[in-house]
Copies of this chain bind each other. A is one copy, B any other.
Amino acid sequence: MSLIVQKYGGTSVGSVERIQAVAQRVSKSHGAGHQVVVVVSAMSGETNKLLELAHRCAPQPALREVDVLIATGEQVTSALLAIVLQEQGIPARSFLGHQIRIDTDSAYGRARIQRIDGEHIRGALGRGEVAVVAGFQGVDAHGHITTLGRGGSDTSAVAVAAALKADVCEIYTDVDGVYTSDPRICPQARKLNRISHDEMLELASLGAKVLQIRSVEFAKRYGVPLCVRSSFDDSEGTWVVPEDGAMEQVLVSGVSLDRDQAKITIRHIPDRPGVASKVLGPIAAANISVDMIIQNASTAGDADFTFTLPKTDVARALKIIEETAREIGAQASSDTEVVKVSVVGLGMRSHAGVAARMFETLAAEGINIQMISTSEIKISVVIEAKYGELAVRALHKALIEEASLGA
């Protein structure tokens, strides 16, 4: 008998019929004698609908109340799934964040889980019940409802699995695993059977929506065996696992394309110490997160400064930067016609040739590289938007399909 945590995303619980299909799958695991905890997202579209309602009420709705509002999405799904399970003769009970309870900090809209009390869920499992947990939500020290940010139900699931020392945490979604690239862009992309936590973290931070970053961090820290699977078929899915020796044999495990990128440049900055903080300080204060940053001094004694940021923040950021530019006598400009292409792989640690082969490949396609950033297991480049798909396909071919570590 195992203790299994299963998480179902919005598409998997998007209608009564789909909730019934989820119940069938839960019932199979329960019937096989396992203890089952199910974590559910809101029905697909619900969270956006509620957010839209909030924004019709106020351009900047109060964050505490937005969390009270959007937490209802998962509350509805958890109740419906419990109803369907009971209808199928399986004892089941819904649990809300404050009932479990899932303690978080008070950062509304992006709260972090601090502690989970597993006692009530363990009680339900002990009575043979399926525990249906409303994902995405928690409660702060004052009893206020909090939510964990986009994809937060993944983190709920992994955190609950960690708290209960579950044998496995299965993330059911509308794709059947983690791919080497987006199959809609790159038809040669193939499903990975296994991927390391670190690679998954890099892919997630590059915009792969299959798992919330924090859920992977949790899984890594607490050693939760994590599996991404499709709720629509019975294929094996992708295991997200601790790194082992065999993995390093693979040079690159993923090529990703992030379209939600924009670039802001300030030219002719007087090259003095403290310029970077003068430029980025007000941006950080406005809660805009900056990704890649490049500063290069010109021979003329001044410097250019470029950074990337999410497209949605570019108008707001440019207004701030233009003010700074005026103060220091520089010129600011923005460019939203850019994308970020990245390759991720544990193999990069021990094989120096990846970067060179990546740049050669792009050059051979006539693609100019605007910015470069690297981590231990990742290389990202910013290029003109129109070359995005071409770059992904070329890099996938050169670094995954044709790659051999001996080359």
A82 to chain B, nearest CB (A): 4
Indicate whether A75 reaches chain B with its CB closer than 8 angstroms: yes
Chain A 59-85, CB within 8 Å of chain B: the 1/0 string?
101101110110110011011101110
Give the residue among A16, A69, A75, A87 with the most B Cβ atoms within 10 A: A69
Determine the distance from Cα of A300 to Cα of B16 in the docked complex, in whole angstroms.
Answer: 58
Given A68-B75, A86-B65, answer yes or no on A80-B94 (Cβ-Cβ < 8 Å): no
Do A53 and B72 touch across chains, with their CB atoms under 8 A apart? no
Q: Report if A66-B83 is in contact (Cβ < 8 Å); known contacts: A16-B56, A75-B72.
A: yes
A1 within 8 A of B: no
A119 to chain B, nearest CB (A): 12
Q: Tell yes or no: A362 within 8 A of B by CB.
A: no
B61–A83 CB distance below 8 A: yes
Please state if A58 and B83 are interface contacts (CB–CB under 8 Å).
yes
B94 touches A65 (CB 8 A): yes
Q: A16-B53, A16-B56, A143-B99 are in contact. Are A69 and B79 (CB under 8 A)?
A: yes
**How long is the Cα–Cα vector from A139 to B370 in the complex, in angstroms?**
58
CB-defined contacts of A79 to chain B, threshold 8 Å: 54, 65-66, 68-69
Is there a chain B Cβ closer than 8 Å to A96's Cβ?
A: yes
Q: Is the CB of A87 within 8 A of B57?
A: yes
- Among B16, B65, B71, B82, point to the contact of A82 (Cβ < 8 A): B65
Which residues of chain B are within 8 angstroms of A71 by Cβ–Cβ distance?
A: 75
Taking the closest CB of chain B, its distance from the CB of A137, in whole angstroms, is: 12
A58 touches B76 (CB 8 A): no
Say whether B99 contacts A83, CB under 8 Å. Answer: no
Q: Closest B-chain residue to A64, C-beta based?
A: B93
Interface residues contributed by chain A, number (CB under 8 Å): 37
Chain B residue numbers with a CB within 8 Å of A94 are 65, 68
Q: Say how far A43's CB is from chain B's closest CB, in angstroms.
A: 9
Question: Which residue of B has the minimal Cβ distance to A134?
Answer: B68
Q: Please indicate the chain B residues that have their CB under 8 angstroms from the CB of A93 in the complex.
A: 64-65
Within 8 A of B (CB), among A93-120: 93-94, 96, 98-99
Nearest-neighbour CB distance to chain B for A9, whole angstroms, equals: 19
Residues of B within 8 A of A57 (CB): 16, 19-20, 80, 83-84, 87
Complex CA gap A70/B76 in Å reads 8
Q: Which residues of the other chain, B, contact A20 by a CB distance below 8 angstroms?
A: 57
How far apart are the CA atoms of A86 and B82 in the complex, in Å?
A: 36
User: Is A330 an interface position by the 8 A CB rule?
Assistant: no
* Residues on B with beta carbons closer than 8 Å to the beta carbon of A84: 57-58
A50 and B20 alpha carbons, distance in the complex (Å): 17
Q: How far is the CB of A139 from chain B (nearest CB, A)?
A: 10
Q: Which residues of B contact A83 (CB under 8 A)?
A: 54, 57-58, 61-62, 65-66, 69
Q: How many angstroms between the C-alpha atoms of A223 and B66 in the bound complex?
A: 36
Closest chain-B Cβ to A117's Cβ sits at a distance in Å of: 12
Shortest Cβ distance from residue A329 to the other chain B in the assembled complex, whole angstroms: 39
Residue of B nearest to A19 (CB): B57
Select one of B50, B59, B86, B144 contacting A62, CB under 8 A: B86
Measured CB to CB, the nearest residue on chain B to A80 is B57
Chain A contact residues, CB within 8 Å of chain B: 16, 19-20, 50, 53-54, 56-59, 61-62, 64-66, 68-69, 71-72, 75-76, 78-80, 82-84, 86-87, 93-94, 96, 98-99, 143-145
Smallest CB-CB A-B distances: 6 pairs: A58-B87, A69-B79, A72-B72, A68-B79, A65-B79, A61-B83
Q: List 9 A-B contacts (CB under 8 A).
A: A16-B56, A50-B76, A57-B83, A61-B86, A61-B87, A65-B86, A68-B79, A69-B79, A99-B144
